[in-house]
Amino acid sequence: MDILVCVATALAAYLLGSIPTGYLVGRAKGVDIRNVGSGNIGATNVFRILGRTAGAIVLVVDCLKGWVAVALAPGMVTAVLGGRVWSGSEFESLRIIAAMSVILGHNYPCWLKFKGGKGIATSAGVLAALIPMGFAAVAVTWAVVCLLTRYVSVASIASALVLPFATWAAGYSHLLVIIAAAMCVLAVYKHHGNIKRLMDGTENRIGGRKSAPPTEAER
């Protein structure tokens, strides 16, 4: 593959992912979302602090970041830079580069000193474009676990753990199974603060009484 195209795709996807939707929506309402609730800029914290409308906007936009990065960015980059015709397997690899880059951009945005969200919504958008069957399995798992436990974090972790197995069972390539496994590991790692609060019994449930905000070390 052409190195220039790969680098340009990775950079475009990273910058798209690094748009801090939750932070921008909070600022529009006069709130620094990083200093309230869990301190996370993701949709869950925005829902809790700023309400359903603001949370829905963040959720949809963060999902769209992932979908656009995978479904549109590689084609746009190759069209702009020109060059030869890419094979199917090469273009799939380019989409994978975009997928990982947009998630990293969301999780570690350069605009916020590399402290971003947990990547669940953006990963969902990525999966919808890259691994649709995996996305379906993740969506069902998230809904069922969230309904049963009322913990968004538990639903997100369970969905992440299901992803590589669902990708393998659906018959996707070994490369996509590896990518799904990498996404799983990253998502679980980004929830380390939630896992600690779950073990301590201080994690917030949907509709439950809110616990004290976590410390910087717990986030």
Torsion angle (degrees, nearest 10) of CA 69, 62, 158, 187: 70
Residue 8: other Cβ atoms inside 10 A = 18
Q: How many CA atoms lie within 13 A of 58 on its CB side?
A: 31
Structure confidence by residue, pLDDT tens digits, 171-215: 998 999 999 999 999 999 999 999 999 999 988 888 765 544 555
- pLDDT exceeds 60 at position 50: yes
Average pLDDT of the chain to the nearest whole number: 91
Q: How confident is the model at residue 88 (pLDDT cuts 50, 70, 90)?
A: confident
Q: How high is the pLDDT of residue 81?
A: 87
Average pLDDT of the segment spanning 70-79: 92
Closest Cα partner for 74 from 61, 86, 60, 63? Answer: 86
Q: How high is the pLDDT of residue 18?
A: 97
SS3 206: coil
Structure confidence by residue, pLDDT tens digits, 130-156: 999 999 999 999 999 999 999 999 999
Q: How high is the pLDDT of residue 20?
A: 97
Closest Cα partner for 197 from 183, 182, 208, 185? Answer: 208
User: Would you list the DSSP string of 152-203?
Assistant: HHHHHHHHHHHHHHHHHHTT--HHHHHHHHHHHHHHHHHTHHHHHHHHHT-P
Detail the DSSP E strand segments found in the chain.
none
- pLDDT exceeds 80 at position 39: yes
Structure confidence by residue, pLDDT tens digits, 100-130: 999 999 999 999 999 999 989 999 999 999 9
- pLDDT exceeds 70 at position 161: yes
Q: How high is the pLDDT of residue 214?
A: 52
Q: How high is the pLDDT of residue 206?
A: 81
Residues with Cβ within 8 Å of residue 84, at least 6 apart in sequence: 2
- pLDDT exceeds 80 at position 169: yes
Q: Please tell me the distance from the alpha carbon of residue 140 to that of residue 134, in angstroms, as a whole number.
A: 10
Q: How high is the pLDDT of residue 218?
A: 45
Q: How high is the pLDDT of residue 217?
A: 44
Q: How high is the pLDDT of residue 1?
A: 60
Q: How high is the pLDDT of residue 208?
A: 60
- pLDDT exceeds 80 at position 35: yes
Amino acid letter at 135? F
Residue 217: other Cβ atoms inside 10 A = 7
- Asked if 162 and 141 touch (Cβ cutoff 8 Å), the reply is yes
DSSP one-letter code for 19 = -
DSSP one-letter code for 213 = P
